[in-house]
Amino acid sequence: MTWAEGNVFLGTDTSGHTVVYDSNDQLQRGISPMRALLTSLGACTGMDIVAILGKRKQRLTSLRIELTGERPEHGLPKPWTSIHIRYIVKGVDLERKYVEEAIEDSTEKFCSVGATLSPTAKITHSYEILP
């Protein structure tokens, strides 16, 4: 992590990929650390689902993941207490049972970000398969 200015930090991994973080709601020059947790959860579970459906020979054409969460209004710290993941899936002849299995496997077994958040946040999910 490198402090850029104000509340802006640059997080760079060992491969050289950089994420801009900012907690200033007016300027928003980057993602807030707490929102980054939600997007990391979405990316983690999304990658699982793409891989699982691919192994099951499902022809996925689109995957959108919407995440919402709740945090306490008062007190500090303010961790996520509940998170809902909504998957919007589209593909060619997708089988509902494989989509459900992929989501369950990701959320229950594979996603490390979800496993990290689940001790303090109740994580729920729903899905929709688009034609």
**What digits encode the pLDDT tens for the residues 35-82?**
999 999 999 999 999 999 999 999 999 999 999 999 999 999 999 999
Domain that holds residue 71: 33-130
DSSP symbol at 31: B
Domain identity same for 3 and 46: no
Domain count, the chain: 2
Domain identity same for 124 and 75: yes
Domain identity same for 52 and 67: yes
Q: Would you state the pLDDT for residue 28?
A: 84
Q: Is the pLDDT of residue 17 over 90?
A: yes
Domain identity same for 104 and 44: yes
Domain identity same for 11 and 74: no
User: For the chain, give me the number of helices (H) and strands (E)?
Assistant: 3, 6
Q: Is the pTM of this model over 0.85?
A: yes
Q: In sequence order, what are the beta bridge partners of 1?
A: none
Domain identity same for 20 and 47: no
